[in-house]
A and B are shown apart, each in its own frame.
Chain A
Amino acid sequence: MEKICVTSQGNTLDSNVDPRFGRCQCFIIVDTDTLEFEAVENPNISSGGGAGIISGQLVSSKGVKVVITGNVGPNAFQTLQAAGITVITGVSGIVKEAVEKYKKGELSSTQGPSVDKKFGMS
């Protein structure tokens, strides 16, 4: 099995992918084999600064190997990379579809931050 995390605007597999990482509404942590999932409400949405960093730590502590989202900023990217997590950006649509695409190998990892810092603040 493999645990992956998709940033989500809601707490189900039918929710939309949240384009932000650090300040997304919810982290959906999915077992790619069984599609069993855990929805973790993001406690860092209104954090003063460093939301990407603590969100990176949070998903790392959940033992995920891959993060699928719309965008990640430089600080979050650095954190995820240090935690050995593969980052996939540019994903939109429904969470479940994103997971399916990932399983089929249709998503490729990103080598750097996709947006500048402070992106998710607005």
Chain B
Amino acid sequence: MIISVASGKGGTGKTTVAVNLALSIPNAQLLDCDVEEPNSHIFIKPNIDNTSPVFIPVPEIDESLCDYCGRCQEVCEYNAIAVLKGAILVFPELCHGCGACSYLCPRKAIKEVNREIGVAETGTKGNLQFGHGRLNIGEAMSPPLIKAVREYSNPVRTVIIDVPPGTSCPVISSIKGSDFCVLVTEPTPFGLNDLILAVEVLRKLDIPFGVVINRSDLGNKDTYEYCAKEKIPIMMEIPFKKEIAVLYSTGIAFTEQMPEYKKEFLGMYKNILTKVKKP
């Protein structure tokens, strides 16, 4: 089973919920798909036993075969190839790796070579399996790396996915195919505004979901009213406690020091099991 943990807005406690949920349930695997800013490892401190570079295929042109016909440039939607009089240039950082140019080259002058966009790492901490990705600095294309991290999904474990914030392509790449999604929010106008966007995404993807309200005692009641009106289940509330904030700041998963919350996360997990679509 795959449970993704997402939030429209960043900084609502998505990583906190993903990490503590993974630590509170049996037989879990935590995959941090926030490859731009991966944070789960800070709290898990896993022993990384495998680091693999992740590549996308980009064209390389054999100029001895090329007759500068311009077909590759014409089929490239991303302006990654420029054909000039007697010269051809490839701009690998613009390439999305679709493969059209090499396939359609009439002289078979294009082969594909790997370009690294980041690394995927896996490891363990106790019984917990862990995986995440790190996007290289200056790199714009995260979905292929997210896909690589998700390929580590262990089908016999409960996979918890830490999803990047927002509603755009990296979010979809991370959430798609989940059995359930936990949306983490805080009861502030910003939190609610972004929660509504995230709810739209999940409805579009047709994935069952519920809400965790973090720092539940700061802000106002609008988020609760919204959830009631939209019939969205509130799975858990976490109050603002300085103790939690301080543990977070030093990179400690708070259930490690406040084990009473482990029961709450386990309870939420059991609740999720009842809400997952049966095949």
Contacts and interface: CB of A to CB of B under 8 A. Distances in A.
Nearest to B140: A49
A53 B89 contact: yes
B91 interface: yes
Interface stretch (B75-83, B146-154, B158-166, B257-265): B75-83
Interface residues of A, number: 16
Contact of B84 (A48, A49, A60): A60
Interface of A: 47-51, 53-54, 56-57, 60, 75, 78-79, 82-84
Q: Which of B73, B78, B83, B89 is packed against the most chain A CB atoms within 10 Å?
A: B89
12 contacts: A47-B79, A49-B94, A50-B78, A50-B79, A53-B94, A57-B83, A57-B84, A75-B91, A79-B82, A79-B84, A82-B84, A83-B85
Interface in B52-86: 73, 78-80, 82-85
B156 interface: no
B87 interface: yes
Interface size class of B (residues with CB under 8 A): 10 to 19
**Across the A-B interface, the 10 shortest Cβ-Cβ residue pairs:** A50-B79, A82-B87, A83-B84, A53-B82, A50-B94, A79-B82, A49-B94, A53-B79, A54-B79, A60-B84
Nearest to A49: B94
A84 B84 CA distance: 10
B89 A79 contact: yes
Contacts of A75: 91, 94
Nearest to B89: A82
A60 B70 CA distance: 14
Interface of B: 73, 78-80, 82-85, 87, 89, 91, 94
Contacts of B83: 57
Nearest to B138: A117
A49 B79 contact: yes
Contacts of A49: 78-79, 94
Contacts of B73: 57
Contacts of A51: 79
A57 B78 contact: no
A12 B251 CA distance: 61
Contact of A53 (B85, B87, B91): B91
A7 to B, nearest CB: 18
Given A49-B78, A82-B82, 18 more contacts: A48-B79, A49-B94, A50-B79, A53-B79, A53-B80, A53-B82, A53-B91, A54-B82, A56-B82, A57-B84, A60-B85, A75-B91, A78-B89, A79-B89, A82-B84, A82-B89, A83-B87, A84-B85
B139 to A, nearest CB: 13
A75 B83 CA distance: 13
A50 B79 CA distance: 5
Contacts of B87: 82-83
A14 B83 CA distance: 33
Contacts of B80: 50, 53
Contacts of B82: 53-54, 56-57, 79, 82
A50 B91 contact: yes
B92 to A, nearest CB: 11
Nearest to B81: A53
Contacts of B94: 49-50, 53, 75
A117 B172 CA distance: 28
